[in-house]
Amino acid sequence: MKKKEFIWKHKHLIGLRELSREEIEHILDTAAGFEEISTRSVKKAPVLRGKVVVNLFFEDSTRTRTSFTLAANRLSADVVEFTKKSSSVSKGETLLDTAKNLEAMGIDIVVIRHSAGGAPKFLSRNINACVVNAGDGYCEHPTQGLLDVYTIRKMKHSLQGLKVAIVGDIAHSRVARSNIYALTKLGAEVILVGPPTLMPAKIEQLPVKVSYSLDDVIGQVDVINMLRIQFERMGANPFPSVKEYSHNFGLTVERMQKAKKDILVMHPGPINRGLEIESEVADGPNSVILQQVQNGLAVRMAVLFLVNQGAMVKK
Amino acid sequence: MEILLNSDKIADCTADLVKAICSQVKNGDKIAVVGIRSRGEILAKRLTELLSKKLKSEIPCGTLDITLYRDDLNDPHGSSQPFVRSTEIEFDINGKIIILVDDVLHTGRSTRAAMDALIDLGRPEAIRLAVLVERTGREFPIQSDFAGIKINLPAGKSVQVNFIESDGKDEVAIITD
């Protein structure tokens, strides 16, 4: 019951790498308070009333974008949707010019997704509005990392000592990076699993274990996070065939029999059914894939609330 | 620091509140209690237990977190920051007579926020305000329906309510800010 004395000081959320354990836990605790809004008759609270949130998406997205829009709506903010295709970006306008022009119209929070790693950081240094990273290149996807640890914490109560496997295309995955930072800071042990061609460079610098065999790992982990094979980001074929990848690294019903009974099966979406995960597993009793989506809303409400609070802290 | 109420007097005030609520609210079957976090939550639980005994029925009780409805969310702040916690009201508030409970009524701003938060959950038949201590210093046109004790207190003084459940003792004190 003791009042929590913690001051959230950040007006941007760029990545989980630069956040402390305490800060990550504060976001998760705050998110828990926002869950209830989505269950009421009036699914709104006047938290960001009169504020403008811009969804600045230079890459395609269904879940993240909709989730941020809905989160902002539930906090009573006005939301401006911006896509690359229907904007002056297609006429050659730079990121900074686009953002400066939007800012001149009086926006408060920019949610940005960009194919270039570092774009959100760059933006945060050059505009006054709050910046929230919704995915940048191969760098980070902080709100996905947060909603993943939030989901695990909700189901398992604590992350301390849990073993978490992240399986698949680690090299191209910003989800994996944000997950690694969040999980290890909260005390979980991370095992990256995938073919060597899909492991990132300098992996030894990360506080993780690496395995090239899912069969070796599946029996020991409490959580398994299956990443999507991102064909759109791959150049030369990183594995001989889809069938072979699926055979070695797909989460099949057969493999699940070797797993712990209470293993949590996660996937950031969109799913390639039958490739990295079999439909029976994705829709099975251990799957929390849809809870991840549901929790994402509360987490994003918390993030929008907190960056706005961070902007209010007197320097 | 001056002690305003000791634990016996707190118990007396609580009993008085229950008596007053029962005598004024005729439709006992419609009563539900909602406490404002965090001291109001504790008082609400105590009142609910006593009310349930007196009315010989299970009175629903919930907790309201008003952080999202505060009117100072967008004020610059330095040393403290609002922390969002969950509202936990498991019953349908539509048509209920809500006894809204807080420890202290001072400026009336918390009550305003609580009423807005409640209305987003449904349409109660009525909202009645019950507080342990009603002090002077209202900034909004709000008054209590039931008060354990009413006191005149100049600006610069605060009422500090301690409950066993949260603070290890039952005591109400007046402190200088």
Report the pLDDT value the prediction gives residue A2, as an integer from 0 to 100: 43
Report the pLDDT value the prediction gives residue B81, as an integer from 0 to 100: 86
Report the pLDDT value the prediction gives residue A30, as an integer from 0 to 100: 96
Residue range of the domain that includes A172:
142-292
Overall number of domains in chain A: 2
Indicate if the alpha-carbon torsion angle A198, A202, A203, A206 is positive or negative.
negative
> Which ranges of chain A have pLDDT less than 70?
1-4, 86-87, 90, 234-236, 315
In a domain, B73, yes or no: no
Would you call B61 exposed, middle or buried from its count of C-beta atoms within 10 A (0-12, 13-18, 19+)?
Answer: buried
Interface contact flag, A5 B84, Cβ < 8 Å? no
Grouping H, G, I as helix, E, B as strand and the rest as coil, residue B22 is helix
Annotated active-site residue A49? The verdict is no
Residue from the list A46, A309, A312 with its beta carbon closest to the beta carbon of B69: A46
Say if residue A119 is in the same domain as residue A163: no
Say if residue A83 is in the same domain as residue A122: yes
| CATH code of A240's domain | 3.40.50.1370
Overall number of domains in chain B: 1
Say if residue A73 is in the same domain as residue A167: no
Taking the C-alpha atoms of residue B175 and residue B129, their distance in angstroms, rounded to an integer, is 24
Report the pLDDT value the prediction gives residue A1, as an integer from 0 to 100: 38
Nearest chain B residue to A308, by CA: B74
Cβ neighbours, 10 Å, residue A101: 11
Interface contact flag, A7 B75, Cβ < 8 Å? no
CB environment B73-83: b (16+ within 10 A), e (fewer): bbeeeeeebbb
| CATH code of B111's domain | 3.40.50.2020
Say if residue A229 is in the same domain as residue A250: yes
Q: Could you tell me the pTM of the whole model?
A: 0.91
In a domain, B154, yes or no: yes
Q: What tens-digit pLDDT sequence spans chain B (177 residues)?
A: 899 999 999 999 999 999 999 999 988 889 999 999 989 999 999 999 999 999 999 999 999 999 999 988 888 876 678 889 989 999 999 999 999 999 999 999 999 999 999 999 999 999 999 999 999 999 999 999 999 999 999 999 999 999 999 999 999 999 998
In a domain, B136, yes or no: yes
Say if residue A231 is in the same domain as residue A300: no
Report the pLDDT value the prediction gives residue B130, as an integer from 0 to 100: 98
Interface contact flag, A312 B68, Cβ < 8 Å? no
Say if residue A132 is in the same domain as residue A149: no
In a domain, A2, yes or no: no
Residue range of the domain that includes B145:
2-22+31-68+88-176
Cβ neighbours, 10 Å, residue B139: 10
Cβ-based contacts of B116 with chain A (< 8 Å) = 46
Report the pLDDT value the prediction gives residue A85, as an integer from 0 to 100: 74
In a domain, A252, yes or no: yes
Taking the C-alpha atoms of residue A164 and residue A184, their distance in angstroms, rounded to an integer, is 10
Task: Looking at the complex, report in whole angstroms how far the Cα of residue B23 sits from the nearest Cα belonging to chain A.
Answer: 32
Report the pLDDT value the prediction gives residue A235, as an integer from 0 to 100: 66
Say if residue A128 is in the same domain as residue A196: no
Provide the token pair at A310: 């961070």
* Contact B2/A at CB under 8 A: no
Catalytic residue among A26, A51, A113, A121: A113
